[in-house]
Structure 1
Amino acid sequence: MNRRHFIRTTATAAATFATIPMMAFNTQDFPSDILIGKGDPDLYGEGFSLQKEAYEAFVRMKHDAAKEGISIKVVSSYRSYTHQNNIWERKYNRFTQQGLNPAQAIEKIVEYSTIPGTSRHHWGTDIDIIDANGGENGDVLVAKKFHGNGPYCKLKEWMNTYAESFGFKLVYTDVANRKGFKYEPWHYSYAPISIPMLKAYTKLDLKSMLQKEKLMGSDHFTEEFISRYIAENILDINPALL
Protein backbone atom coordinates (compact mmCIF):
# COMPACT_ATOMS: atom_id res chain seq x y z
CA MET A 1 0.00 0.00 0.00
CA ASN A 2 1.37 3.44 -0.89
CA ARG A 3 2.12 5.70 2.04
CA ARG A 4 2.53 9.43 2.29
CA HIS A 5 6.10 10.62 2.36
CA PHE A 6 7.49 13.99 3.23
CA ILE A 7 10.74 15.23 1.69
CA ARG A 8 12.53 17.85 3.74
CA THR A 9 15.52 19.89 2.70
CA THR A 10 18.29 20.69 5.17
CA ALA A 11 18.22 23.82 7.30
CA THR A 12 21.42 24.99 5.65
CA ALA A 13 19.91 24.89 2.18
CA ALA A 14 16.71 26.59 3.28
CA ALA A 15 18.54 29.44 4.98
CA THR A 16 19.86 30.86 1.73
CA PHE A 17 16.49 32.33 0.80
CA ALA A 18 14.11 34.30 3.01
CA THR A 19 11.54 32.04 4.62
CA ILE A 20 8.11 32.28 3.04
CA PRO A 21 5.05 31.26 5.10
CA MET A 22 3.98 27.82 3.91
CA MET A 23 0.41 27.06 2.93
CA ALA A 24 -1.44 24.41 1.01
CA PHE A 25 -0.92 25.30 -2.61
CA ASN A 26 -2.74 24.58 -5.82
CA THR A 27 -2.23 25.49 -9.45
CA GLN A 28 -2.55 29.20 -8.65
CA ASP A 29 -0.35 29.37 -5.56
CA PHE A 30 3.33 28.40 -5.73
CA PRO A 31 5.66 29.85 -3.06
CA SER A 32 9.07 30.67 -4.48
CA ASP A 33 10.88 28.26 -2.16
CA ILE A 34 8.79 25.42 -3.58
CA LEU A 35 9.69 26.50 -7.13
CA ILE A 36 13.44 26.45 -6.48
CA GLY A 37 13.57 23.22 -4.52
CA LYS A 38 14.07 24.69 -1.05
CA GLY A 39 10.55 24.24 0.23
CA ASP A 40 8.80 21.43 2.04
CA PRO A 41 6.11 20.05 -0.30
CA ASP A 42 3.81 17.15 0.50
CA LEU A 43 4.97 14.29 -1.69
CA TYR A 44 3.63 10.81 -2.31
CA GLY A 45 5.06 7.50 -3.45
CA GLU A 46 7.29 4.60 -2.47
CA GLY A 47 10.70 4.68 -4.10
CA PHE A 48 9.83 7.98 -5.79
CA SER A 49 8.13 11.22 -4.80
CA LEU A 50 5.49 13.30 -6.60
CA GLN A 51 2.74 15.74 -5.77
CA LYS A 52 -0.51 13.94 -4.94
CA GLU A 53 -2.31 14.60 -8.23
CA ALA A 54 0.73 13.67 -10.31
CA TYR A 55 1.29 10.56 -8.19
CA GLU A 56 -2.28 9.37 -8.64
CA ALA A 57 -2.10 9.94 -12.41
CA PHE A 58 1.18 8.02 -12.54
CA VAL A 59 -0.31 5.07 -10.64
CA ARG A 60 -3.16 4.88 -13.16
CA MET A 61 -0.71 5.07 -16.05
CA LYS A 62 1.54 2.39 -14.56
CA HIS A 63 -1.48 0.13 -14.05
CA ASP A 64 -2.58 0.44 -17.68
CA ALA A 65 0.95 -0.08 -19.02
CA ALA A 66 1.25 -3.26 -16.98
CA LYS A 67 -1.64 -4.72 -18.99
CA GLU A 68 0.68 -4.54 -22.03
CA GLY A 69 3.60 -6.19 -20.25
CA ILE A 70 5.35 -2.89 -19.47
CA SER A 71 6.57 -2.21 -15.94
CA ILE A 72 7.11 1.54 -15.66
CA LYS A 73 9.81 2.29 -13.11
CA VAL A 74 10.64 5.79 -11.90
CA VAL A 75 14.40 6.23 -11.61
CA SER A 76 14.21 9.92 -10.70
CA SER A 77 11.39 12.17 -9.52
CA TYR A 78 11.43 14.98 -6.93
CA ARG A 79 14.85 16.42 -6.16
CA SER A 80 15.56 19.01 -3.52
CA TYR A 81 17.93 21.91 -4.12
CA THR A 82 20.55 20.08 -2.05
CA HIS A 83 20.19 16.91 -4.13
CA GLN A 84 20.57 18.84 -7.38
CA ASN A 85 23.58 20.70 -5.99
CA ASN A 86 25.24 17.38 -5.16
CA ILE A 87 24.78 16.31 -8.79
CA TRP A 88 26.16 19.65 -9.97
CA GLU A 89 29.27 19.48 -7.78
CA ARG A 90 30.00 15.85 -8.68
CA LYS A 91 29.89 16.61 -12.39
CA TYR A 92 31.79 19.89 -12.06
CA ASN A 93 34.61 18.15 -10.19
CA ARG A 94 34.70 15.27 -12.68
CA PHE A 95 34.87 17.48 -15.77
CA THR A 96 37.45 19.89 -14.38
CA GLN A 97 39.60 16.96 -13.23
CA GLN A 98 39.39 15.63 -16.78
CA GLY A 99 41.02 18.85 -17.98
CA LEU A 100 38.10 21.11 -18.91
CA ASN A 101 38.30 24.71 -17.76
CA PRO A 102 35.40 25.97 -15.56
CA ALA A 103 33.43 27.50 -18.43
CA GLN A 104 33.80 24.33 -20.50
CA ALA A 105 32.78 22.16 -17.53
CA ILE A 106 29.62 24.22 -17.02
CA GLU A 107 28.66 23.92 -20.68
CA LYS A 108 29.23 20.16 -20.47
CA ILE A 109 27.08 19.81 -17.37
CA VAL A 110 24.12 21.68 -18.85
CA GLU A 111 23.90 19.32 -21.79
CA TYR A 112 21.80 17.12 -19.49
CA SER A 113 21.84 18.49 -15.93
CA THR A 114 20.31 21.64 -14.51
CA ILE A 115 21.79 24.34 -12.33
CA PRO A 116 20.49 23.91 -8.75
CA GLY A 117 17.36 26.00 -8.26
CA THR A 118 16.33 25.64 -11.91
CA SER A 119 15.40 21.96 -12.16
CA ARG A 120 11.89 20.86 -13.11
CA HIS A 121 12.51 17.96 -10.74
CA HIS A 122 12.20 20.47 -7.86
CA TRP A 123 8.46 20.62 -8.51
CA GLY A 124 7.31 17.07 -7.81
CA THR A 125 5.76 16.88 -11.28
CA ASP A 126 8.53 15.34 -13.41
CA ILE A 127 9.77 11.78 -13.72
CA ASP A 128 12.55 9.90 -15.46
CA ILE A 129 11.30 6.42 -16.34
CA ILE A 130 12.42 3.07 -17.73
CA ASP A 131 10.74 -0.30 -18.29
CA ALA A 132 11.86 -2.56 -15.45
CA ASN A 133 11.08 -5.53 -17.67
CA GLY A 134 13.80 -4.33 -20.03
CA GLY A 135 16.54 -4.76 -17.44
CA GLU A 136 18.75 -2.23 -15.71
CA ASN A 137 22.26 -2.98 -16.91
CA GLY A 138 24.74 -0.10 -17.11
CA ASP A 139 23.53 3.45 -17.71
CA VAL A 140 19.77 3.27 -18.25
CA LEU A 141 19.07 6.86 -19.28
CA VAL A 142 20.60 6.59 -22.73
CA ALA A 143 18.52 7.72 -25.71
CA LYS A 144 19.35 4.76 -27.95
CA LYS A 145 17.92 2.35 -25.37
CA PHE A 146 14.47 3.83 -26.01
CA HIS A 147 14.49 3.28 -29.76
CA GLY A 148 15.00 0.55 -32.36
CA ASN A 149 15.82 -2.69 -30.59
CA GLY A 150 16.61 -0.97 -27.30
CA PRO A 151 15.31 -2.49 -24.04
CA TYR A 152 12.92 0.40 -23.45
CA CYS A 153 11.58 0.92 -26.96
CA LYS A 154 8.28 -0.82 -26.12
CA LEU A 155 7.82 1.60 -23.21
CA LYS A 156 8.58 4.60 -25.43
CA GLU A 157 6.13 3.47 -28.09
CA TRP A 158 3.43 2.99 -25.45
CA MET A 159 4.13 6.39 -23.90
CA ASN A 160 3.98 8.03 -27.35
CA THR A 161 0.42 6.75 -27.66
CA TYR A 162 -0.98 6.95 -24.14
CA ALA A 163 1.08 9.26 -21.88
CA GLU A 164 -0.87 12.42 -22.70
CA SER A 165 -4.17 10.77 -21.78
CA PHE A 166 -2.81 10.61 -18.21
CA GLY A 167 -1.50 14.18 -18.29
CA PHE A 168 2.18 13.36 -18.91
CA LYS A 169 4.15 14.97 -21.73
CA LEU A 170 7.73 14.54 -22.92
CA VAL A 171 9.83 17.55 -21.87
CA TYR A 172 12.99 17.54 -23.98
CA THR A 173 12.00 16.43 -27.46
CA ASP A 174 14.12 15.41 -30.45
CA VAL A 175 12.96 18.34 -32.60
CA ALA A 176 15.94 19.23 -34.76
CA ASN A 177 16.09 22.97 -34.04
CA ARG A 178 15.43 22.73 -30.29
CA LYS A 179 18.25 24.08 -28.12
CA GLY A 180 19.11 23.66 -24.45
CA PHE A 181 19.12 20.21 -22.88
CA LYS A 182 19.64 17.28 -25.19
CA TYR A 183 16.87 14.86 -26.12
CA GLU A 184 15.61 12.86 -23.14
CA PRO A 185 13.10 10.16 -24.17
CA TRP A 186 12.78 9.16 -20.51
CA HIS A 187 11.74 12.54 -19.01
CA TYR A 188 8.01 13.23 -18.66
CA SER A 189 6.14 16.00 -16.87
CA TYR A 190 2.65 16.05 -15.38
CA ALA A 191 1.35 18.99 -17.42
CA PRO A 192 -1.74 20.03 -15.41
CA ILE A 193 0.55 21.14 -12.58
CA SER A 194 3.91 21.78 -14.23
CA ILE A 195 2.53 24.26 -16.79
CA PRO A 196 1.27 26.74 -14.16
CA MET A 197 4.37 26.09 -12.07
CA LEU A 198 6.59 27.07 -15.00
CA LYS A 199 4.55 30.24 -15.51
CA ALA A 200 5.04 31.12 -11.84
CA TYR A 201 8.72 30.17 -12.02
CA THR A 202 9.45 32.50 -14.93
CA LYS A 203 8.15 35.43 -12.85
CA LEU A 204 11.02 34.96 -10.40
CA ASP A 205 14.16 37.07 -10.77
CA LEU A 206 16.19 34.14 -12.04
CA LYS A 207 19.22 36.20 -13.03
CA SER A 208 19.63 37.60 -9.53
CA MET A 209 19.05 34.17 -8.00
CA LEU A 210 21.74 32.51 -10.09
CA GLN A 211 24.22 35.31 -9.49
CA LYS A 212 23.69 35.24 -5.71
CA GLU A 213 23.97 31.49 -5.24
CA LYS A 214 27.49 30.40 -4.33
CA LEU A 215 27.58 27.38 -6.57
CA MET A 216 30.73 25.61 -7.64
CA GLY A 217 31.88 27.44 -10.78
CA SER A 218 29.24 30.17 -10.49
CA ASP A 219 31.92 32.87 -10.83
CA HIS A 220 31.80 31.92 -14.50
CA PHE A 221 28.04 32.53 -14.84
CA THR A 222 28.23 35.53 -17.15
CA GLU A 223 25.21 37.67 -18.03
CA GLU A 224 25.27 36.18 -21.51
CA PHE A 225 25.37 32.62 -20.16
CA ILE A 226 22.49 33.19 -17.74
CA SER A 227 20.28 34.79 -20.40
CA ARG A 228 21.02 31.95 -22.82
CA TYR A 229 20.46 29.31 -20.15
CA ILE A 230 17.01 30.72 -19.31
CA ALA A 231 15.99 31.02 -22.96
CA GLU A 232 17.28 27.63 -24.04
CA ASN A 233 17.52 25.26 -21.09
CA ILE A 234 14.45 26.42 -19.17
CA LEU A 235 12.14 27.59 -21.93
CA ASP A 236 13.12 25.70 -25.10
CA ILE A 237 11.07 22.62 -24.25
CA ASN A 238 8.07 20.80 -25.65
CA PRO A 239 5.70 23.67 -26.63
CA ALA A 240 2.82 21.71 -25.11
CA LEU A 241 4.37 22.36 -21.69
CA LEU A 242 4.59 26.15 -22.04
Structure 2
Amino acid sequence: MQISSQFSSIDIPSEQAKLYGLDDRHLVSIGQFLLEQRTATAFMQLQCAASVAGFDVQICSAYRPFDRQLSIWNAKATGQRPLLDQDSNPIEFTSLTPQQVIDTILIWSALPGASRHHWGTDFDIYDANNISKQALQLITAEYTADGPCAQLHQWLTSHATEFGFYFPYQPDLSGVSPEPWHMSYFPVANELLEQFSADEFAKVLSAAEISLKSPLIERLTELVNHYVFFVAPSPA
Protein backbone atom coordinates (compact mmCIF):
# COMPACT_ATOMS: atom_id res chain seq x y z
CA MET A 1 0.00 0.00 0.00
CA GLN A 2 1.41 3.35 -1.04
CA ILE A 3 0.87 6.48 1.02
CA SER A 4 -2.57 7.97 0.28
CA SER A 5 -2.72 10.94 -2.09
CA GLN A 6 -4.33 13.08 0.61
CA PHE A 7 -0.90 13.17 2.30
CA SER A 8 1.08 14.12 -0.82
CA SER A 9 1.43 17.70 0.45
CA ILE A 10 3.53 16.65 3.45
CA ASP A 11 6.89 14.93 3.61
CA ILE A 12 6.48 11.71 5.58
CA PRO A 13 9.58 9.49 5.89
CA SER A 14 8.75 5.82 5.33
CA GLU A 15 9.79 4.96 8.88
CA GLN A 16 7.29 7.51 10.17
CA ALA A 17 4.55 6.55 7.72
CA LYS A 18 4.32 3.02 9.12
CA LEU A 19 3.75 4.42 12.62
CA TYR A 20 0.51 6.03 11.52
CA GLY A 21 -0.87 3.20 9.38
CA LEU A 22 0.05 4.84 6.09
CA ASP A 23 2.37 2.13 4.74
CA ASP A 24 2.06 -1.66 5.04
CA ARG A 25 4.97 -2.75 2.84
CA HIS A 26 6.98 -3.93 5.87
CA LEU A 27 4.30 -6.44 6.91
CA VAL A 28 3.82 -10.14 6.15
CA SER A 29 0.68 -12.23 5.88
CA ILE A 30 -0.53 -14.57 8.61
CA GLY A 31 -3.61 -16.09 7.02
CA GLN A 32 -5.92 -13.18 6.25
CA PHE A 33 -4.06 -10.80 8.58
CA LEU A 34 -0.90 -8.69 8.32
CA LEU A 35 1.79 -8.54 11.00
CA GLU A 36 5.29 -7.12 11.32
CA GLN A 37 7.77 -9.87 10.40
CA ARG A 38 9.34 -10.53 13.83
CA THR A 39 5.91 -10.34 15.41
CA ALA A 40 4.58 -12.93 12.97
CA THR A 41 7.39 -15.36 13.76
CA ALA A 42 6.93 -14.96 17.50
CA PHE A 43 3.17 -15.36 17.21
CA MET A 44 3.50 -18.69 15.42
CA GLN A 45 5.81 -19.90 18.18
CA LEU A 46 3.33 -18.80 20.85
CA GLN A 47 0.48 -20.39 18.92
CA CYS A 48 2.29 -23.74 18.84
CA ALA A 49 3.04 -23.65 22.56
CA ALA A 50 -0.57 -22.74 23.34
CA SER A 51 -1.76 -25.64 21.19
CA VAL A 52 0.28 -28.07 23.29
CA ALA A 53 -1.42 -26.58 26.36
CA GLY A 54 -4.85 -27.21 24.82
CA PHE A 55 -5.69 -23.81 23.31
CA ASP A 56 -6.36 -22.73 19.74
CA VAL A 57 -5.08 -19.15 19.68
CA GLN A 58 -6.44 -17.30 16.69
CA ILE A 59 -6.27 -13.67 15.61
CA CYS A 60 -9.50 -11.77 15.05
CA SER A 61 -7.92 -8.37 14.29
CA ALA A 62 -4.36 -7.32 13.50
CA TYR A 63 -2.96 -4.56 11.28
CA ARG A 64 -5.46 -1.82 10.53
CA PRO A 65 -4.61 0.95 8.03
CA PHE A 66 -5.12 4.64 8.69
CA ASP A 67 -7.97 4.87 6.18
CA ARG A 68 -9.92 2.09 7.91
CA GLN A 69 -9.55 3.76 11.31
CA LEU A 70 -10.46 7.09 9.71
CA SER A 71 -13.73 5.70 8.33
CA ILE A 72 -14.68 4.43 11.80
CA TRP A 73 -13.80 7.78 13.37
CA ASN A 74 -15.69 9.90 10.83
CA ALA A 75 -18.81 7.74 11.07
CA LYS A 76 -18.89 8.14 14.84
CA ALA A 77 -17.91 11.82 14.78
CA THR A 78 -20.83 12.64 12.48
CA GLY A 79 -23.46 10.54 14.24
CA GLN A 80 -23.64 7.84 11.55
CA ARG A 81 -22.52 5.14 14.00
CA PRO A 82 -23.67 4.86 17.62
CA LEU A 83 -21.63 6.23 20.50
CA LEU A 84 -21.34 4.11 23.65
CA ASP A 85 -20.35 4.97 27.19
CA GLN A 86 -17.91 3.01 29.37
CA ASP A 87 -20.65 0.45 30.12
CA SER A 88 -21.57 0.06 26.43
CA ASN A 89 -24.80 2.04 26.82
CA PRO A 90 -25.76 4.26 23.86
CA ILE A 91 -25.35 8.02 24.17
CA GLU A 92 -27.44 10.58 22.30
CA PHE A 93 -25.08 12.17 19.77
CA THR A 94 -26.88 15.52 19.61
CA SER A 95 -26.52 16.04 23.37
CA LEU A 96 -22.72 16.19 23.20
CA THR A 97 -20.30 19.03 22.53
CA PRO A 98 -17.50 18.41 19.99
CA GLN A 99 -15.03 17.81 22.83
CA GLN A 100 -17.42 15.36 24.47
CA VAL A 101 -17.85 13.54 21.16
CA ILE A 102 -14.06 13.15 20.93
CA ASP A 103 -13.81 11.79 24.47
CA THR A 104 -16.73 9.42 23.92
CA ILE A 105 -15.35 8.01 20.67
CA LEU A 106 -11.99 7.40 22.34
CA ILE A 107 -13.59 5.14 24.94
CA TRP A 108 -13.87 2.38 22.33
CA SER A 109 -12.13 3.58 19.15
CA ALA A 110 -8.60 4.81 18.57
CA LEU A 111 -7.76 8.11 16.96
CA PRO A 112 -6.69 7.46 13.34
CA GLY A 113 -2.90 7.34 13.26
CA ALA A 114 -2.67 6.68 17.01
CA SER A 115 -3.67 3.02 17.10
CA ARG A 116 -1.11 0.36 17.96
CA HIS A 117 -2.91 -1.77 15.36
CA HIS A 118 -1.18 0.44 12.76
CA TRP A 119 2.21 -0.99 13.72
CA GLY A 120 1.73 -4.65 12.87
CA THR A 121 2.98 -5.57 16.35
CA ASP A 122 -0.42 -5.67 18.03
CA PHE A 123 -3.43 -7.91 17.51
CA ASP A 124 -6.55 -9.25 19.20
CA ILE A 125 -6.81 -12.95 20.03
CA TYR A 126 -9.36 -15.54 21.16
CA ASP A 127 -9.56 -19.27 21.87
CA ALA A 128 -11.17 -20.85 18.81
CA ASN A 129 -11.65 -24.08 20.78
CA ASN A 130 -14.30 -22.39 22.90
CA ILE A 131 -15.86 -19.64 20.80
CA SER A 132 -16.24 -18.85 17.12
CA LYS A 133 -15.05 -15.61 15.58
CA GLN A 134 -18.64 -14.88 14.59
CA ALA A 135 -19.85 -15.16 18.19
CA LEU A 136 -16.93 -13.21 19.65
CA GLN A 137 -17.80 -9.76 21.03
CA LEU A 138 -14.40 -8.77 22.48
CA ILE A 139 -15.79 -7.94 25.90
CA THR A 140 -14.09 -8.45 29.25
CA ALA A 141 -16.59 -11.11 30.34
CA GLU A 142 -15.30 -13.42 27.59
CA TYR A 143 -11.78 -13.33 29.08
CA THR A 144 -12.52 -13.52 32.82
CA ALA A 145 -14.29 -15.85 35.28
CA ASP A 146 -16.11 -18.53 33.25
CA GLY A 147 -15.75 -16.78 29.89
CA PRO A 148 -14.80 -18.87 26.83
CA CYS A 149 -11.34 -17.28 26.64
CA ALA A 150 -10.67 -17.02 30.39
CA GLN A 151 -8.38 -20.04 30.65
CA LEU A 152 -6.44 -18.90 27.60
CA HIS A 153 -5.99 -15.47 29.16
CA GLN A 154 -4.69 -17.05 32.36
CA TRP A 155 -2.22 -19.13 30.37
CA LEU A 156 -1.07 -16.09 28.40
CA THR A 157 -0.64 -14.07 31.58
CA SER A 158 1.89 -16.67 32.68
CA HIS A 159 3.56 -17.50 29.37
CA ALA A 160 3.15 -14.68 26.81
CA THR A 161 6.33 -12.89 27.86
CA GLU A 162 8.35 -16.01 27.02
CA PHE A 163 7.60 -15.19 23.38
CA GLY A 164 7.90 -11.40 23.64
CA PHE A 165 4.22 -10.57 24.12
CA TYR A 166 2.28 -8.73 26.81
CA PHE A 167 -1.00 -6.89 27.40
CA PRO A 168 -0.49 -3.11 26.98
CA TYR A 169 -3.99 -2.10 28.09
CA GLN A 170 -4.48 -2.98 31.76
CA PRO A 171 -6.59 -1.54 34.61
CA ASP A 172 -5.13 1.74 35.95
CA LEU A 173 -2.02 1.31 33.80
CA SER A 174 -3.16 2.68 30.45
CA GLY A 175 -5.18 5.49 28.94
CA VAL A 176 -7.07 3.03 26.76
CA SER A 177 -9.65 0.91 28.59
CA PRO A 178 -8.44 -2.57 29.65
CA GLU A 179 -8.41 -5.05 26.76
CA PRO A 180 -7.53 -8.61 27.86
CA TRP A 181 -7.68 -9.69 24.21
CA HIS A 182 -5.11 -7.15 22.91
CA MET A 183 -1.53 -8.43 22.73
CA SER A 184 1.63 -6.58 21.75
CA TYR A 185 5.05 -7.81 20.65
CA PHE A 186 7.06 -5.51 22.89
CA PRO A 187 10.59 -5.99 21.40
CA VAL A 188 9.40 -4.11 18.29
CA ALA A 189 6.45 -2.15 19.70
CA ASN A 190 8.69 -0.44 22.26
CA GLU A 191 10.98 0.76 19.47
CA LEU A 192 8.04 2.13 17.50
CA LEU A 193 6.59 3.85 20.54
CA GLU A 194 9.89 5.68 21.04
CA GLN A 195 9.76 6.84 17.41
CA PHE A 196 6.21 8.18 17.66
CA SER A 197 6.24 11.96 17.24
CA ALA A 198 3.29 14.13 18.23
CA ASP A 199 4.58 16.84 15.87
CA GLU A 200 4.71 14.51 12.87
CA PHE A 201 1.34 13.08 13.83
CA ALA A 202 -0.11 16.61 13.86
CA LYS A 203 1.01 17.02 10.23
CA VAL A 204 -0.77 13.78 9.32
CA LEU A 205 -4.04 14.80 10.97
CA SER A 206 -3.84 18.29 9.47
CA ALA A 207 -3.66 16.75 5.99
CA ALA A 208 -6.33 14.12 6.65
CA GLU A 209 -10.02 14.46 5.83
CA ILE A 210 -10.98 13.89 9.45
CA SER A 211 -14.05 15.13 11.30
CA LEU A 212 -13.54 17.36 14.36
CA LYS A 213 -10.07 18.27 13.08
CA SER A 214 -9.73 21.64 14.83
CA PRO A 215 -10.64 20.48 18.36
CA LEU A 216 -8.46 17.41 17.86
CA ILE A 217 -5.41 19.46 16.88
CA GLU A 218 -5.98 21.77 19.85
CA ARG A 219 -5.81 18.82 22.27
CA LEU A 220 -3.37 16.63 20.40
CA THR A 221 -0.51 16.69 22.90
CA GLU A 222 -2.88 15.74 25.71
CA LEU A 223 -4.50 12.97 23.65
CA VAL A 224 -1.19 11.49 22.50
CA ASN A 225 0.18 11.46 26.04
CA HIS A 226 -2.92 9.73 27.36
CA TYR A 227 -3.81 7.29 24.58
CA VAL A 228 -0.43 6.56 22.95
CA PHE A 229 2.30 6.95 25.57
CA PHE A 230 0.33 5.92 28.67
CA VAL A 231 0.41 2.11 28.41
CA ALA A 232 1.25 -0.65 30.85
CA PRO A 233 5.03 -1.05 31.25
CA SER A 234 6.37 -3.87 29.14
CA PRO A 235 8.52 -6.62 30.67
CA ALA A 236 11.57 -5.29 28.79
- Structure 1 residue 16, shift from structure 2 partner: 5.5
Match of 2:50 among 55, 62, 65: 65
Q: Does residue 3 of structure 2 align to residue 18 of structure 1? A: no
Which runs of structure 2 are paired with 1:29-178 in the superposition (5 Å)?
31-44=15-28, 45-92=30-77, 93=79, 94-95=81-82, 98-101=93-96, 102-136=98-132, 138-175=135-172, 178=173
Determine if contact 1:13/1:38 at 8 Å carries over to the other structure: no
Identity %: 27
Aligned partners of 2:19 and 2:192 also within 8 Å: yes
Which residue of structure 1 aligns with residue 221 of structure 2? Answer: 227
1:238 corresponds in structure 2 to 232
- Which TM-score applies when normalising by structure 2? 0.84
Asked if 1:198 is matched to 2:182, the reply is no
Gaps of 5+ in 1: 1-7, 23-30
Give the TM-score normalised by structure 1. Answer: 0.82
Q: Which amino acid aligns with 2:16?
A: S
Query: Partner amino acid for 1:216?
Result: S
- Could you tell me which runs of 5 or more consecutive residues in structure 2 were left unpaired when the two chains were aligned: 84-91
Aligned length: 223
Which structure would you say has the larger RCO, counting Cα contacts within 8 Å and 6 or more residues apart?
2
Output the aligned Cα RMSD: 2.4
Equivalent-residue separation in structure 2 for 1:109 and 1:183 (angstroms): 16
